[in-house]
Amino acid sequence: MRGALIAAAALALAACANDPLAEAPVAEAPMPAVEFVGTAELAAMRANGEAIVIDVRTPEEFAAGHLPGAINMPVETFDPAAVPFEDGRETVLYCRSGNRSGRAAGMLADFTGDTVRHLEGGITAWVADGLETATGD
């Protein structure tokens, strides 16, 4: 009798395993990512009008020197819902070295569910590569 119960249980399990109506495992959505963009690529994107640039440093740092046309949105008060997006243009974040912009990019990626890029090496790398900056507000 015990052998018959084990055989019946094995047949039932086998039938469930081969059931074409059984639900397939659900694929997980890809996690939003944070990636770097280099200075040369960002300079080309800006020249072609393909980038909206967000500076997440303090207003004082921004006034002392920033990428021309950048928008100042300090990381201390960063609100992903307030970040501007435009069709055909990528929003790229930066700070002094890449640390704060990495944090803000993570918040923005979590908010949008999309990959967000920030400037590798920040404005320090931008200036070191001899690229243009602006001062003031």
Residue 105, strand partner residues: none
* Cβ–Cβ < 8 Å for 113, 32: yes
Give dist(CA 56, CA 39) in Å, integer.
17
Residue 82, strand partner residues: none
Give dist(CA 88, CA 34) in Å, integer.
19
Catalytic center residues: 95
Give dist(CA 58, CA 47) in Å, integer.
25
The alpha-carbon radius of gyration of the chain (Å, integer) is 25
